[in-house]
């Protein structure tokens, strides 16, 4: 079976130093969503859903959800968010991360448009 890695370069994170993971979607991977073997991890405002193991060696951080991200059409590789996505406007609320329209950023690499 092919590994399905969506919206992040790695589905397995082996960490040895403090590391921050913010506003990502870990969805439908055949391995781990977020894995911490060693070190410190801040993993806030992420959607970690439907992986074989969502969290290993860590737990959900502030503002994180575990819900279907509601992509427009993942079968056609369209990973933009639908209007009712739980990832819309739920990323890191610090204003420095706001979307160009001034709203809170979205989780995932493709914003709701």
Whether pLDDT at 17 is above 50: yes
10: its two tokens: 């790695």
- Residues with Cβ within 8 Å of 75's Cβ and at least 6 positions away in sequence, in order, are none
pLDDT tens for 26-79 read 999 999 999 998 888 899 999 999 999 999 999 999 999 999 999 999 999 999
Q: Model's pTM, two decimal places?
A: 0.83
Strands (E), the chain: 19-22, 25-27, 32-35, 41-44, 47-49, 53-56, 71-73, 78-81
- Write down the pLDDT at residue 95: 94
Q: Which residue has the tokens 């439907």?
A: 50
Domain locations in the chain? 19-97
């Amino acid at each position: 079976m092919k590994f399905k890695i969506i919206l992040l370069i790695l589905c397995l994170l082996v960490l040895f130093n403090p590391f921050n993971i913010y506003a990502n979607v870990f969805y439908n991977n055949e391995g781990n969503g977020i894995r911490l073997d060693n070190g410190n991890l801040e993993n806030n405002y992420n959607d970690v859903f439907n992986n074989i193991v969502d969290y290993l060696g860590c737990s959900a951080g502030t503002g994180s959800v575990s819900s279907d991200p509601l992509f427009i059409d993942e079968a056609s590789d369209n990973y933009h968010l639908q209007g009712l996505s739980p990832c819309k406007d739920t990323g890191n609320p610090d204003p420095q991360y706001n979307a160009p329209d001034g709203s809170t950023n979205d989780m995932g690499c493709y914003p709701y448009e």
